[in-house]
Amino acid sequence: MPVITTPQEFNVDDLYVDLGPVAGIPLVLKCEGFNFAGSIKLKAAAEMVDAAERAGWIHAGSTLVESSSGNLGVALSLVAASRGYRFVCVTDARCTTSAIRLMRSLGATVRVVTEPHPEGGFLGARLELVNRLVQENEDFLWLNQYANPANWIAHHQSTGPEILKAFPEIDVLFVGAGTTGTLMGCARYFREAKPSVTIVAVDAVGSVTFGQPAARRMIPGLGTGVRPRLLDESYVDDVVFVPETQTLRTCRRLARHGFMFGGSTGTVVGGAVGWLSANRLGEDTTAVAVAPDFGDRYLDTVYNDEWVSGHYGAGLLENRGGSDA
């Protein structure tokens, strides 16, 4: 029986869902949301704070600041509360109400940006505010998840090895691209441990991460308005771009089978199903996708009919029986 003293010590790392019966294609989903933060971001949050402590950059009473669309903000709120640090999260209007409430309940200060930067979008505006806060407050430390190597190191040490241990015969790995911490950590690990694995990044249409044109995105999580400094495309074999309408259909199709996943997971699964269908690798292919979170924080958005029809049109809801690809 595990007994823990801090919330970040607990994480279920060996739960996988066989999506074959749902998706009609061989695909296994690594579920990363079974921890006190509710998402894979707890791994990066804990490692970035650990690295800052080892470097002597923070001490009791320090204030951490970070830009986040939601999940990392919740994870850092939890870690900061358990370590005795103050935390300021800079997010934007797309952040879910539940994530904001969770952060504030954990003692964090949440600053919400309401206007996008003319070139960098909401992320650019968030980063501007973070930089201003750091300049105005000497005791603020910006962890900078977009450039902090501890972000990808967390997954090089945990997520990648966990997947290979469970599926030593793995052929393809699908990872969503946000800050690209999970993507780079897993890709670097497999380049060293099993280079035959095909690494497929899944990004949202409208994200600029892989050089595509910027466009409106309403679902937080994957995608960026500013290219992450962590990204090294030499570790990525292919990229799939998923429109948000496909994300919504995928999430809702999975929910009809009892699996409530978050928007990031819907994007990853939708991209993986499309890629596998197009490449037709065979029934004996071992394909794994990483599910960053669950759907409880998306009840007001992804799973809210009024929100969906207001942003994407009622036609998407009328196609409830359609494919998730």
Question: Dihedrals φ, ψ of 83, to 5°?
Answer: -105, -5
Residue with tokens 């998402």: 39
Question: Dihedrals φ, ψ of 295, to 5°?
Answer: -90, 0
CB count within 10 Å of CB 142 equals 18
DSSP string, 96-154: -HHHHHHHHHTT-EEEEE-S-BTTTHHHHHHHHHHHHHHHH-TTEEE--TTT-HHHHHH
How far from chain centre, in Å, is Cα 258? 21
CB count within 10 Å of CB 240 equals 21
Tokens at 131, concatenated: 């930089």
Of 68 and 120, more confident: 68
Q: What is the mean pLDDT of residues 271-292?
A: 92
- Domain 41-142 in CATH 3.40.50.1100: yes
d(CA 54, CA 319): 52
d(CA 38, CA 53): 24
Using an 8 Å Cβ cutoff, are 160 and 193 in contact?
Answer: yes
Q: Is the pLDDT of residue 325 over 90?
A: no
Q: What is the mean pLDDT of residues 169-194?
A: 97
**Which residues does residue 39 pair with via DSSP β-bridges, in sequence order?**
293
Note the pTM of the prediction, 2 decimals: 0.93
Which residues of the chain are in CATH 3.40.50.1100 domains? 7-31+155-313, 41-142
pLDDT per residue as tens digits for the range 288-307 = 999 999 999 899 999 999 98
Topology of 7-31+155-313 in CATH? Rossmann fold (3.40.50)
